[in-house]
Amino acid sequence: MARKDLLDLASLSREEIDDLLDQAVPFKDLFTRSVKKVPALKGKSVLMLFYEPSTRTHSSFEVAAKRLSADVTNFDVPHSSVVKGESVRETVETLQAMRTDYIVVRHGRSGLPAMIARQTRASVVNAGDGAHAHPTQGLLDAFTLKEVFPEPEGRRVLIVGDILHSRVARSTSTVMRRLGAEVAYLGPGSLVPRNGPAGVTRFTDYEEAMRWKPEVVYLLRVQMERQDVQFFPSLREYHKVYGVNRERLKRLEDEGIWLMHPGPVNRGVELCDEAMDYERSLINQQVENGIAVRMAVLYWLKPGKA
């Protein structure tokens, strides 16, 4: 069944996830060609509606839409009537009158993309909503995992950090588990929910987590902007207890463990400088795959009739 919107990954079937990931493969192949553009969405319009800062998601959606030959409009929130108190509903109604086909939205409030999706015939893509979901990040992570492990069944992925506030942890663990990978969470007790998803192992001790024998260590960004209280004593302490410092990097190297991070990296917090050059780091590959996966998502969705 064709979908109008992509709001989360929990509601997608395994077949839909496989279909999306398969469709991203030829789009990635396109990157090596001299002409990187296809006419798949020629004449369609994509509106970028970002109420929160973004580098990777915003730029890769923009590149993805342009490579599909769509017209892209960036809604400039800081210079819009939003600063005069215009509500999201009013903004969307106004933009709807422009008959856009796709709306890519990021907002600090969980559930806001779903609200917009109910209000518009355009296809809505959630580019991150509060601590709820970041479905395209989950898909690009799954795509990257499959490049390393074409059969992810039974592979062990350790997600480290602020699970509680992380939409990335939610979406990435959902899709990786759907592909059959085993997922564990590691972080300070205050940041790893006790009642996490069934089947996800919970660790608060780094050594114990490493004895679980992860094949991928996925560091989350510490989201200082979402924490209204301090969940750990200091960033230095966080790095010491949960970050990949030089000593731990050596261990990852010795054990052949892959490293992932959604970006942007807080250097000296989640990762030491040397980790940026680690040969099994997949961080740049994640960014590159983000374009292919977002092309697949835009191509896959079917906007409603005007």
Contact residues toward ligand CP (CB under 6 A) are: 54-58, 128, 137, 262-264
Instruction: Give the residue with the Cβ less far from ligand CP, 106 or 182.
Output: 106
Q: How many alpha carbons lie under 13 Å from residue 6 in its C-beta half-sphere? A: 31
Quick check: 56 and 285 in contact, CB under 8 A? no
Taking the least distance from each CB to ligand CP, the nearer of 45 and 57 is 57
| H or E element in which residue 104 lies | strand 102-107
CB of 57 to ligand CP, least distance (A): 3
Closest approach of ligand CP to the CB of residue 67, in Å: 18
What residues contact residue 272 under an 8 Å CB cut-off, 6+ apart? 239, 243, 244, 245, 246, 249
Q: CB 172 → ligand CP: shortest distance, Å?
A: 10
Written as six digits, the tokens of 60 are 């890769």
Residue 161 contacts residue 220 (beta carbons within 8 Å): yes
Tell me, what amino acid is at 165? Answer: H
CB of 137 to ligand CP, least distance (A): 5
- Looking at the Cβ atoms of 137 and 173, the one nearer to ligand CP is 137
The residue whose two tokens read 């993805």 is 64
Smallest CA-to-CA distance from 152 within 160, 161, 162, 143 is with 143
Q: Which is nearer to ligand CP, 57 or 281 (CB)?
A: 57
Task: Name 42's Cβ contacts closer than 8 Å, sequence gap at least 6.
Answer: 69, 70
CB of 168 to ligand CP, least distance (A): 7
Of residues 123 and 137, the one with the C-beta less far from ligand CP: 137
Between residues 17 and 260, which has the closer beta carbon with respect to ligand CP? 260
Q: How many CB atoms lie within 10 A of CB 37?
A: 12
Give the chain's count of helices (H) and strands (E).
10, 9
In the bound complex, what is the minimum distance in angstroms from residue 290's beta carbon to ligand CP?
Answer: 8
